[in-house]
Amino acid sequence: MPQGDKSAYTDKQKRKAEHIEEGYEKRGVPKKTAEGRAWATVNKESGGGNKSGSGRGKKDTHVSSSRGGKAHKAGSAEARSAAARKGWDTRRKKAAG
HEC string for the chain: CCCCCCCCCCHHHHHHHHHHHHHHHHCCCCHHHHHHHHHHHHHHHHCCCCCCCCCCCCCCCCCCCCCCCCCCCCCCHHHHHHHHHHHHHHHHHHHHC
Average pLDDT, the chain: 81
Q: What's the pTM?
A: 0.57
Question: Could you tell me the pLDDT band of residue 45, with boundaries at 50, 70 and 90?
Answer: confident
Percentage, residues of the chain above pLDDT 90: 35
Residue-wise pLDDT for 19-36, tens only, equals: 999 999 999 999 999 999
